[in-house]
């Protein structure tokens, strides 16, 4: 490979593979042969040399035109995008004309460069003029043979084309890069002022949506009243074409007012194509739609069933379905569906996509509290949600073959979206009751879809079910622990009693109790029963999170985690049972801790003079609360009678004189101070 002075890369013929050398030699040989035949035919057919030269030159132009045309088209197609920016902002030009003028600029650049090249390689001015005449003749012949639709605008022909080619030689600098559009100097081009443009925009943006012809007529009426186009006694309004072409450049933006935000976003906003996530639980989608099945309710057969579905976008797996009577997409329904989906798979999603329906605010608040990011669908772009695609696929691939299929969504109007009348009548007869459908639809829909073989995704073969895809893919989020997962179960606020905590569901009671199998568990359970006040109303309430009734529950006191409590079992009455021993050990530990605490309190009371002085102070209260007395010495006679001793002297010796102490109390109503004698209780070592 070598480079000449004009920085053009030359490829040596001998350096090419043999098959390419052969093709090039054949092309050159055919071109030489065609020229030789032309010369021989011209020499044999004409006696005058002038006639022969003219015919020979014309034949050479015809032969060369095919090669030059190919080179021109290749150069123009490659370079014309550089010149479109000069014409994009011109509201009087359409798309095809913008491309046409850009191609004309590329052609003019090509011709101008060839003129400059001739000037550099020519050895004399005479030779340069001869080369230029040859260039113009060959280019004119090639351009006239090019198809008219290639430039998309009307090209000059004949003498006008030749004159235009010669003019390109004289152009310099930026002038060569811009070809003025036809009629750019027309008087109507600058007829519209800013005020008149605003009037046109206001008329077009009116929701009444009048035609462009009516806009032009109203513009002329307003112009006459305001004497806009009256100059020197001559009335020269803009043409209809000027108004029409101006509207073409601004109507895309005005359609948001003329047709509404939804129409504008669906037709005017550029689309973005995105691929599905590569990991499961990266993005979930939730949406509700009418189940395309007839059901019977209150004696009528309608499309009553409405389902809310949650899908995983990476695997297409249907995670949960909630069936409601009629359209019901309130926040509590959506949140319940999300909770069930999380319980079903054991994961939380990183993102959740949903539209701005009636439950959007409630769902967003719930997601923010559980570290789930929300991706709201913009107004008018609901069909951009993948969940809409999956709902449509389910209807087309599964629901359509149901015996009670009611056709596509109630608002669908496309061909084939509704079955025939005969089929509809049969489907209504096969409709099941809504109560039965609501119980079975959830399982039926999930089983059918999650085990359906998906043939292709994103134009590529798939051949797997959503369940298989789910099992193969890695998760974007970590698997939830049992305690975290229970947060999405059913919540109960109940009192803690000596039995444990009892919750009920559908008439069945479930009692949960702290685990007591090990010494550490019993110690933790003892602290729970010691520190939480029992029989104290709200103070004894705990929060119980039940994932599934019958399985262990997660228990909290306020925000303190108390542990995972299993169901409380009935214990065998036979002594020596290991489970019974565990409960007995717990009871002994609680009693031991209580006695120890009371003993320490009594010692502190007796040793502290301040506390001891409190005994003699008057106290008030409507209800006297006192500990039970030690009655062992009050029943000495009963004890003696039950024993084998019957001696009266012994009974007399066993009698013990009771000792009393006086205390003062204030009457709660009258305020009268009374002295009361109460027996002194024997003190026993604990």
Select, from the ranges 168-182, 301-315, 554-568, the one with the highest average predicted confidence (pLDDT). 554-568
Residue 454 lies in a domain: yes
Residues 167 and 203 in one domain: no
Backbone angles phi, psi at 133, to 5 degrees: -65, -40
Which of 448-457, 503-512, 535-544, 656-665 is the least confident region? 656-665
The answer to whether 539 and 533 have CB atoms below 8 angstroms apart is yes
Q: For the purposes of burial, counting CB atoms within 10 Å of the CB of 395, is it exposed (0-12), middle (13-18) or buried (19 or more)?
A: buried
Half-sphere exposure of 125 (CA within 13 A, CB side): 0
pLDDT for 511: 94
Residues 390 and 292 in one domain: yes
Residue 427 lies in a domain: yes
Domain boundary among 267, 293, 312: 267
Residues 463 and 514 in one domain: no
Residue 450 lies in a domain: yes
Q: For the purposes of burial, counting CB atoms within 10 Å of the CB of 313, is it exposed (0-12), middle (13-18) or buried (19 or more)?
A: buried
Which of 122-126, 220-224, 406-410, 554-558 is the least confident region? 406-410
Residues 455 and 577 in one domain: no
Question: Does the pLDDT at position 546 exceed 80?
Answer: yes
Q: How many domains is the chain built from?
A: 5
Residues 319 and 466 in one domain: yes
Residues 101 and 166 in one domain: yes
**Taking the CA atoms of the chain, what radius of gyration do you get in angstroms?**
49
Domain of 306: which CATH number?
3.30.420.10
pLDDT for 6: 46
Residues 6+ apart with CB under 8 A from 417: 407, 408, 409
Residue 235 lies in a domain: yes
Residues 307 and 450 in one domain: yes
Per-residue pLDDT reduced to its tens digit, 471-501: 999 999 999 999 999 988 899 999 999 899 9
pLDDT for 24: 66
Give 212-245 as a 3 state SS string.
HHHHHHHHHHHHHHHCCCEECCEECCCCHHHHHH
Residues 301 and 327 in one domain: yes
Residue 401 lies in a domain: yes
Residues 167 and 198 in one domain: no
Residue 613 lies in a domain: no
Residues 288 and 422 in one domain: yes
Question: Does the pLDDT at position 88 exceed 90?
Answer: no
What span, in angstroms and rounded, lies between the C-alpha atoms of 321 and 391? 12
Residue 25 lies in a domain: no
Average pLDDT in the chain: 78
Residue 143 lies in a domain: yes
Domain boundary among 574, 591, 608: 591
Residues 330 and 459 in one domain: yes
- Domain range for 647 is 618-679
Residues 400 and 334 in one domain: yes
Domain boundary among 125, 156, 177: 177
């Amino acid at each position: 490979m070598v480079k000449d002075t004009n920085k053009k890369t030359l490829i040596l013929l001998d350096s090419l593979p043999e098959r390419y050398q052969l093709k090039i030699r054949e092309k050159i040989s055919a071109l030489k042969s065609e020229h030789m035949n032309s010369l021989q035919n011209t020499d044999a057919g004409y006696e005058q040399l002038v006639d022969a030269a003219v015919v020979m030159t014309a034949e050479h132009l015809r032969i060369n035109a095919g090669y030059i045309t190919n080179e021109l088209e290749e150069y123009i197609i490659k370079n014309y995008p550089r010149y479109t920016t000069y014409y994009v902002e011109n509201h009087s030009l359409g798309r095809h004309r913008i491309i046409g003028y850009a191609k004309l600029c590329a052609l003019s650049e090509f011709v101008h460069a060839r003129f400059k090249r001739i000037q550099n390689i020519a050895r004399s001015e005479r030779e340069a003029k001869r080369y230029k005449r040859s260039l113009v003749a060959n280019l004119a012949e090639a351009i006239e043979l090019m198809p008219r639709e290639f430039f998309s605008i009307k090209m000059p022909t004949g003498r006008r084309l030749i004159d235009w080619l010669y003019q390109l030689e004289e152009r310099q600098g930026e002038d060569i890069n811009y070809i003025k559009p036809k009629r750019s100097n027309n008087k109507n081009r600058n007829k519209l002022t800013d005020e008149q443009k605003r009037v046109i925009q206001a008329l077009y943006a009116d929701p009444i949506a009048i035609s462009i012809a009516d806009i032009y007529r109203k513009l002329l009426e307003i112009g006459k009243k305001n004497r806009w186009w009256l100059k020197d006694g001559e009335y020269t309004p803009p043409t209809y074409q000027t108004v029409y072409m101006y509207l073409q450049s601004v109507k895309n933006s005005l359609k948001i007012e003329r047709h509404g935000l939804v129409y504008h976003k669906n037709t005017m906003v550029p689309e973005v194509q995105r691929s599905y996530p590569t990991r499961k639980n990266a993005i979930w989608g939730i949406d509700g739609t009418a189940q395309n099945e007839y059901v019977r309710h209150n004696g009528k057969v309608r499309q009553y069933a409405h389902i809310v579905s949650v899908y995983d976008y990476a695997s297409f797996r249907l995670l949960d379905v909630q069936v409601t009577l009629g359209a019901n997409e309130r926040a509590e329904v959506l949140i319940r569906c999300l909770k069930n989906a999380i319980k079903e798979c054991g994961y939380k999603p990183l993102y959740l996509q949903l539209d701005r329906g009636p439950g959007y605010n409630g769902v967003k608040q719930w997601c923010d509290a559980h570290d789930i990011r929300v991706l709201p669908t913009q107004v008018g772009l609901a069909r951009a949600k993948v969940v809409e695609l999956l709902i449509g696929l389910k209807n087309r691939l599964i629901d359509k073959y149901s015996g009670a299929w009611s056709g596509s969504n109630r608002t669908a109007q496309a061909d084939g979206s509704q079955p025939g009348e005969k089929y509809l009548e049969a489907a209504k007869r096969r409709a099941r009751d809504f109560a039965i459908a609501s119980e079975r639809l959830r399982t039926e829909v999930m089983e059918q879809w999650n085990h359906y073989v998906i043939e292709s995704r994103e134009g590529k073969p798939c051949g797997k079910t959503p369940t298989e895809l789910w099992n193969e893919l890695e998760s974007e989020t970590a698997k939830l622990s049992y305690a975290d997962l229970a947060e999405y179960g059913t919540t109960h606020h109940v009192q803690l009693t000596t039995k444990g905590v009892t919750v009920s569901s559908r008439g069945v009671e479930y009692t949960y109790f702290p685990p007591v199998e090990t010494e550490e568990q019993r110690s933790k359970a003892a602290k729970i029963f010691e520190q939480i006040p029992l029989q104290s109303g709200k103070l004894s309430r705990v929060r119980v999170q039940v994932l599934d009734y019958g399985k262990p529950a997660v228990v909290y006191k306020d925000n303190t985690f108390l542990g995972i409590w299993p169901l409380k079992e009935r214990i065998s009455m036979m002594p020596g049972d290991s489970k019974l021993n565990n409960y007995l050990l717990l009871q002994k530990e609680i009693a031991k801790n209580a006695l120890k605490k009371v003993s320490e309190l009594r010692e502190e009371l007796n040793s502290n003079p301040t506390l001891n002085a409190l005994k003699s102070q008057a106290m008030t209260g409507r209800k006297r609360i006192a500990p039970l007395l030690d009655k062992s010495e009050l029943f000495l006679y009963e004890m003696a009678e039950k024993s084998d001793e019957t001696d009266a002297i012994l009974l007399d010796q066993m009698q013990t004189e009771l000792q009393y102490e006086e205390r003062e109390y204030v009457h709660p109503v009258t305020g009268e101070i009374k002295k009361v004698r109460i027996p002194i209780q024997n003190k026993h070592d604990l």
